[in-house]
Amino acid sequence: MNKSAIYQLLQDAVSREIVPGVSYSLIDHSMPEQHYIGLTQSRYGQPLTPDMRYDLASLTKVIVVTTRILQLIGDKKLALTDEVGHYLSNTVYPTVTIKNLLLHDSGLPADVAQPSSYADAEALKEKIKKTTLIAPIGQKTCYSDLNFIILGWIIEKIDQKDLSQSAQENIFEPLQMSHTGYLLPQDRSLFVPTEFDPNRGLIQGVVHDETAYKLGGISGNAGLFSTLSDLNRFVQMILNHGQVHDMQVLPEEAFTLWQQIQKNGRTLGWQRWSKNDLFLWHTGFTGTSLAIDLVHQTAFVCLTNRVYPTRLDRSWLKVRRLAISLFFGQPEEI
């Protein structure tokens, strides 16, 4: 990884006000190298500090849902070939499999249009269950929040508790991620704000994603908040092949599956940066990203609130991809 080039790139992004600030870490065999550049809000915010909570957006998909699904597979409570209809009733896609959902080739669309327009969470859930496929199962890759919302429901069905409790007991507590979770207690000053919404006002400490918000803040597609230090613990667990303090948090089987399964640049839950090397990565709409190099045993955690004050400025997306390419040391293989 090119540490100095990554620093210069991210420092420049803050100086040019592409984002208000960046909290990032580079992890190898030594202690994580952590950096906090800029402010929580442009010009008027407070300096970023290690205890700042970020809305992780779609990183929820890999940290909570993918991890828990792989744990359940390791415990033989679930199989990749299991069908949605085995766990959930009254859907119009009962033969979609767990593997289809993880690879985003279920045929489901990206999301439900205008989730805020539904009367309540139950009405939105019913709509998701009745959403018709836009492609034959397994034939087209379409990144979809619905895939991971459904996986979250399946986890809740198996664990007989809500997704927040399941993640807390099976992921956050074993990893001592004490500042990570859904619906975290609110001291607004500890949360990096996301977007200013005409209806919701300044979104700070409450999930930004409209669908997850309508579903009550606990969802498989988004809703998770965390700090840089806690995410360091998560990626270090993966770099250590699932082990933490002699505890196997993630089964070895997960790494075999990630290596073997690749389709249209994706593996189970994650994207793969390289066709040949096990380089995992994922991003979140709010500006977050994780990149894990299992070949060289390094990781890059990068947190921003690029949607502040509005999502319309997309300049950060190009910077983020360049930073990830500097970390992996090569351009993405599409």
- d(CA 222, CA 199) in angstroms, rounded, equals 20
Which DSSP string do the residues of 124-177 spell out, in sequence order?
HHHHHHTPPPSS-TTT-----HHHHHHHHHHHHHHHTS-HHHHHIIIIITTTT-
Tokens of 331: 């351009």
Q: Which residues contact 139 (CB under 8 A, 6 or more apart)?
A: 105, 107
Q: Look at the block and give the residue holding tokens 């270090």.
A: 236
71 SS3 class: helix
Buried b (16+ CB within 10 A) or exposed e, 48-61: beeebbbbbbbbbb
- Residue range 283-308: mean pLDDT, rounded: 97
Residue 156 scores a pLDDT above 70: yes
Q: What pLDDT is recorded for position 186?
A: 83
For 277-289, write each residue's pLDDT tens digit: 999 999 999 999 9
Query: What separation, in Å, do the N-terminal and C-terminal C-alpha atoms of the chain show?
Result: 20
For 19-49, write each residue's pLDDT tens digit: 999 999 999 977 789 999 999 998 889 999 9
Confidence of residue 8 (pLDDT cuts 50, 70, 90): very high
Q: What pLDDT is recorded for position 334?
A: 66
Q: What percent of the chain has pLDDT over 70?
A: 100
Q: Which long-range contacts (CB under 8 A, 24 or more apart) does 34-41 make?
A: 34/228, 34/229, 34/232, 35/7, 35/10, 36/228, 37/10, 37/11, 38/14, 40/192, 40/193, 40/305, 41/193, 41/308, 41/309
Q: What pLDDT is recorded for position 307?
A: 97
- d(CA 4, CA 174) in angstroms, rounded, equals 33
**pTM > 0.85: yes or no:** yes
What domains lie within the chain, and their CATH numbers? Answer: 3-328 (3.40.710.10)
- d(CA 202, CA 199) in angstroms, rounded, equals 9
Please name every residue paired with 35 in a beta bridge, in sequence order, or none if there are none.
Answer: 24
